[in-house]
Amino acid sequence: MDQIPLMRCPKANNVGHAAIPCVDLSAPGAAAAVADACRSVGFFRAINHGVRAAITDALEAHAMAFFALPAQDKLDMSGAARPLGYGSKTIGSNGDVGWLEYLFLSVSSNSVEISSLPPSLRAALEAYTAAVRELSGRVLELIAEGLGVDRGLLRGLVVGREEGSDELLRVNHYPPCPLRPPGECGVTGFGEHTDPQIISVLRSNCTAGLQIKLRDGRWVPVSPTRKPSSSTSETRCRLQMHICMQVLTNGRLRSVKHRVVAPEAGAHSRLSVIYFGGPAPSQRIAPLPEVMREGEQSLYREFTWGEYKRAAYKTRLADHRLSAFELRAATQPPAASSADPQPHCSSCMQPPQQQVAKVH
Ligand SMILES: O=C(O)CCC(=O)C(=O)O
C-alpha cells in the first residue's frame, strides 16, 4: 500500500470533440492539413497512417499483463524510474504525482534498452516502436512539405541519423481511482505539461481522460476512440507537436499543453503508449532559416537538445519549460497565445496536497 497526495484536476469545458482535427494521411491534401492542424492546435488524430491494429493490440495485451504483476517483480525487471524504468505515482524527481504507473524506456538504437523485460513484451515494444517511428518520419515529411521546406529537413532530425537520435517510449497505466474529490474535479492521472521533444505519437485504449488546452485557454476532452471493428486493420493514433518543433518553426507550430484525468471507480483502466521522437543530444535547436521571413527575429536563443533536456528535467511538469531560452525582446510568436487564461475551474487548481489517497 502506498500513499500519494490526491491532486485535483479541473473538469474540461464541454465544448465537444470537433475542435481536434482529424487528418487522413493518405489523402492528396495531407501536407496542408497536417501543417494547419499543427499551427492551430498542435495536436491531431490521424487515420490511414499504416500502423496495424495487430501491433497495438499485442502491445496492449502484453503491457496489461506486465502491469498486473506484483510491484516488486515490475521493479526487478525494469529498475525504478530515474527517469527511465518502472514508476508508480511519482513522475520525475521534482514532486509530480499522478494516479498511474508506467514504464519509461529509451528505444534509441532500434531496440528497447531494458533486457530483463518479459521477451514477449519486449518484442511487442520493438514492433510498435518501428511502426510509429516510420509514422513519425512520414508526418515530419508532410509537415515540412506543408511549411514549404525540404521534405527531409525535419524527418532527418529524428529518423535514420547516423549519430542516433533520442527516442523514448512511455507506457502509462491508469487504474480506476476509488476516491472522488469534491466539486467539479477529477483526480489527476498525469498533470498538465508540454512535451519537450519534436513529435510524439500517442495511442490509448478506448478510454477517456486525455485533455488538451486550446489556444484560447479552454481545456477540452479528447474523445476516446471507438474500438476498431475486427475488419479494421489499423489502430487509431494521435500526433502531437513539441517544444523543439515550436522553436524550429519560430513559433509557427505550437506545442500543446495536455493532461490526463484518472478513470473513476467502476470505469475501465486507461492504457496509453507514447512514442517521443527527439534529436541527438548534440543537435543544435534554433529557428530554421528556411521557415523564417526576411527580417524576422528569432524568438528563441539557440540551444542543444542535451542542454534543453537537462534543464527540463530540473523543472516540474506544469512549469513553462521554454522560458530560459526565450528572447524576451523579440515580438510574440505567431502561434503562441500571449494570453494564457486560467483553466475553467480555477478554484479546483492543484496543488491541494492536503488530501491523501491510498493506492494499491
Ligand atoms: O496518457 C496519456 O494519454 C498522455 C500521457 C502523457 O502526456 C505523457 O506520458 O507524457
Q: Is 179 exposed, middle or buried (0-12, 13-18, 19+ CB in 10 A)?
A: middle
Spans in the chain with pLDDT lower than 70 = 1-7, 10-11, 13-18, 108-114, 225-236, 328-360
pLDDT tens for each residue of 254-278: 888 999 999 999 999 999 999 999 9
How high is the pLDDT of residue 240?
80
Name the CATH architecture for the domain at 8-325. Sandwich (2.60)
Q: Please, are residues 4 and 356 in contact by the beta-carbon 8 Å criterion? A: yes
pLDDT tens for each residue of 73-115: 999 999 999 899 999 999 988 889 999 999 999 986 656 666 7
Please give the backbone phi and psi of residue 135, each rounded to the nearest 5 degrees, phi first: -60, -45
How high is the pLDDT of residue 77?
93
How high is the pLDDT of residue 206?
85
| Domain ranges (residues) in the chain | 8-325
How high is the pLDDT of residue 358?
34
CA distance from start to end of the chain: 5
The atom of ligand 1 lying closest to the CA of 210 is 3
How high is the pLDDT of residue 281?
92
The atom of ligand 1 lying closest to the CA of 274 is 9
pTM of the model: 0.87
Residue 166 Cα to ligand 1 middle (Å)? 18
How high is the pLDDT of residue 147?
92
User: How far is 11 from 220, CA to CA, in rounded Å?
Assistant: 9
Ligand 1 site residues (CB inside 6 A) read: 170, 172, 190, 195, 202, 204, 210, 258, 260, 272, 274
How high is the pLDDT of residue 233?
59
Residue 289 Cα to ligand 1 middle (Å)? 32
